[in-house]
Amino acid sequence: MEQQMQQKRPLPRIGVLALMLEAYEPIFPGITAQQTAYVKEVLASLGDAAAFTFDALALNRADIERMTAQYNREGLDGILILLCSYSQGQYLVRAMQENRLPLALALIQPDETVGDDFEELELTVNQGIHGSQDNANALLRAGIPCAYYAGSRFDGKLNAFVADFGAAAQTVRQMKTMRIGIIGKLAGMGDVVTDDMAVYRKLGPEFIYDSIGTVTKYVEQVSQREIDERVALEKELFDVDPQMPPERHAYAVRLYLGLKRYVEENGYAGYTAHFEEFGADGRYTQLPLLAASNLLADGYGYAAEGDASCAAMVASMHTLCGIANFSEMYMMDLKRDAILLCHAGEGNWKTCRKDQKPFLMDRVFNEGGLSNPPTPIFAPDAGRASLISIVHLGGERFRLVVSHGTLPEQPRLRKIDMPYIFFQPDSGAVTLARSWLEAGGTHHETVVYGEHRARIRLFAQLLGIEYLEL
């Protein structure tokens, strides 16, 4: 399932800061060239985990500041720090205060054991551990987030760490420039209320409040030719309900194409909509459920009821994990030791099990007092999955609440006319439900598919926010 649903992501571009004191060269002539060759060997061994930029060791404060500034100017995704011997933390920390790129430090060394014939040179080239400690301490005390690896460079774990760091760095970089459109907000829904400027300062997304009239402008621009082409495509993508009136399907497509133009032309990574805005406006005859599902499938972030933070998280998880979905917990199923996830009918139909097409249903839905909204009905393949919630704890304090678990073979609920997912948390349904309450997890969640524990944790670490695994 995971391989089927992964969306191709450009290779992360990572700048390398390989640190060593220039004072070692007079003591051990040739050590600079030796350690430069070692770094190149390490980077070559990492294969396609990332595209690396590395020219020379950073031997002093000026080198570190110059290379860091260069990596920022080039718009790389992140910086990987390697200690090629000892280097003082104060040489690094000032440059990092000016740095805008996510950081990782990998504690590795050329040799994996102390040889019986080691001399001072061999100890010097392998003594990155105390240099890493000095630099990590300086970064911590300066309040600069950094991800860390310590271990072998030969067993594949370094490769996995760098790949996960690269994906997390790309995602953090995306968040720092992300814009989310907001079309209405459900009054009284407490956990979607945030300090927008705190979100902007700490996490990066900018929330833009748009009127329903703004969306209407884009909907009205959609041509009949565009509608006809999309309807024809959807007859291939979906098993279309034979009861579906063609004009109803066409109207749903118009809403989708208009909302897609809305997010594209405004440079939004995603959007959130409160459906009552469409029902109360008077110009709409249908709620945009198909539009929300299609835009999720297109890779945009989405959440309901004005929950811009969740929409931003869905957009981010598309980047981090390959594909994501929006849902909420509807019911504990104690017999199955599972949580039933669903919402009003929105769902990323590209997560549909690979041996089926989504069913596009002419669905009776009374919310808003409008006509039946065409709704994709589907279930995912069995496999691993995670639920994620971003929690605003006040000020600039945020928490990423995460539950890892399994999607079982999905039972057929014949009378539930909306996408749903049974999720079996590793901790058990009751434990998760209680722990979610204690952690302040929100009632809107991001769903990701596959096993992505390491990179989700790295994502939170690079943002400098709390990470709580339930």
Domain borders along the chain are: 2-175, 177-469
Q: Each residue of 198-237: pLDDT tens digit?
A: 999 999 999 999 999 999 999 999 999 999 999 999 999 9
Mean of pLDDT over the chain:
94
On whether the CB atoms of residues 79 and 99 are closer than 8 A, the answer is yes
pLDDT (0 to 100) of residue 135 = 95
Task: Kindly report the pTM of this predicted structure.
Answer: 0.93
Could you tell me which CATH class the domain 177-469 is placed in?
Answer: alpha beta
Q: Which residues 6+ apart lie within 8 Å of 205 measured at CB?
A: 175, 178, 179, 180, 199, 269, 308, 309, 312
Give the pLDDT confidence score for residue 330 in this predicted structure: 95
Band of residue 407 on the pLDDT scale cut at 50, 70, 90: very high
CB 380 within 8 A of CB 449: yes
Q: Is the pLDDT of residue 1 over 60?
A: no
What pLDDT is attached to residue 6?
52
Confidence of residue 7 (pLDDT cuts 50, 70, 90): low
Higher pLDDT, 141 or 1: 141
The pLDDT score that the predictor gives to residue 124 is 85
Torsion from C-alpha of 377, 381, 385, 389, nearest 10 degrees: 0
- Average confidence (pLDDT) over 401-408: 98
178 close to 300: Cβ distance less than 8 angstroms: no
- pLDDT at position 353, please? 94
pLDDT, position 8: 67
> Could you read off the pLDDT of 279-310 as tens digits, one per residue?
888 899 999 999 999 999 999 999 999 999 99
pLDDT band at 18 (very low <50, low <70, confident <90, very high): very high
| Window from 76-85, 263-272, 367-376 with minimum mean pLDDT | 367-376
Residue 368 has pLDDT above 70, yes or no: no
pLDDT tens digit sequence for 174-190: 999 999 999 998 888 88
pLDDT at 414: 87
Beta-bridge partners for 339: 332, 423
For residue 2, is pLDDT > 50?
no
Q: Give the full edge-to-edge strand order of the sheet including 179-183.
A: 206-209, 179-183, 270-273, 301-304
**Chosen CATH of 2-175 out of 3.40.50.10940, 1.10.10.60, 3.40.190.10, 3.40.50.20:** 3.40.50.10940
- pLDDT the model gives residue 28: 94
pLDDT higher than 90, residue 389: yes
> How distant is the alpha carbon of residue 3 from its chain centre?
17
